Amino acid sequence: MRRAFVVVSTVTLIVFAFQFVFAAVGAFTEPSGDSAYALHRITGMAVIPALTLLTTLFAVLAKAPGRLVGLAILPLGLNLLQALLAALPDAFADESGRSTVVSLIFGALHAVNGIIAVHVVVRVVRDAGRLAAADPSEPPTGTSEPASPGASRPASFRATGRRGAT
């Protein structure tokens, strides 16, 4: 299951990368209109949420630490925020439909939120890879099992209880 977790999280990351490409295609399509963003919209509203749920399922089945399972589901919440941030610029346009400062800020936050979501998925892929590379008999890092006393202290601190003392 750990390898499957790596594969599904990597596919999710690739789809997120394509999401930026689809946004650019929509932005540079002439004549512009709602249909120009069809790939971006479908990917964001259906594909990414499905892959995020699948990634989370494989994280649970791989017995990933709770923090990693939480990170795996986080893009779903960020994706819901994306939909809201995509709709708000139209709500704050002026009477003639032109952009206002507020609508442009929400449009910019849509992009920033997308970047944050990608960083979360990168972290999930990295941590999934580490989990898959770990010995299955070892408990995953971040579990509640305590390490040996003083293991997290620097070597110079462990010997005497004071830093630098010998």
pLDDT value at 126 more than 70 = yes
pLDDT value at 112 more than 90 = yes
Q: Average pLDDT in the 94-103 region?
A: 90
User: In this structure, are residues 55 and 8 in contact, taking their beta carbons and an 8 Å threshold?
Assistant: yes
Specify the DSSP class assigned to residue 96.
Answer: T
| Burial (CB count <10 Å: 0-12, 13-18, 19+), residue 51 | buried
Dist CA 120 CA 131 (whole Å): 16
Each residue's pLDDT tens digit, 88-97: 988 898 888 8
Q: Is the dihedral of CA 104, 107, 113, 117 positive or negative?
A: negative
94: nearest Cα among 82, 102, 86: 102
